[in-house]
């Protein structure tokens, strides 16, 4: 079994009072939780479930993280 590594985007939603986690490039890989530990567990689980649904071709063509850049806007 191949090992995959992803970088998740995590934000705090003030309205929901929850952390929201999204794995960019992996359709359906998103969840929310009230703690970062719970979010990590849930993101791992949903990521594994999403990977199970992909074909071999889709698995071979997953996007690769190149970098992260902060943008400052005035």
pTM over 0.75: yes
Does 27 reside within a domain? Answer: yes
Domain carrying residue 48: 9-53
- How many domains does the chain contain in total? 1
Does 34 reside within a domain? Answer: yes
Does 32 reside within a domain? Answer: yes
pLDDT at 38: 98
**Rounded to whole angstroms, how far apart are CA atoms 9 and 24?**
7
Does 67 reside within a domain? Answer: no
pLDDT in tens, 8-35: 999 999 999 999 999 999 999 999 999 9
Does 29 reside within a domain? Answer: yes
Average pLDDT, the chain: 95
Does 63 reside within a domain? Answer: no
% of the chain beyond a pLDDT of 90: 88
Q: Distance of CA 27 to CAs 1, 50, 55, 65, Å?
A: 21, 7, 13, 15
């Amino acid at each position: 079994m191949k090992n995959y590594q992803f970088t998740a985007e995590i934000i705090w939603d003030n309205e929901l009072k929850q952390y929201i986690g999204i794995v960019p490039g992996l359709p359906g890989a998103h969840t929310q939780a009230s703690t970062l530990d719970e979010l990590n567990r849930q993101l791992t689980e949903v990521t594994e479930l999403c990977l199970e649904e992909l074909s071999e071709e889709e698995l071979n063509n997953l996007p690769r993280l190149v970098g992260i850049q902060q943008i400052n806007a005035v």
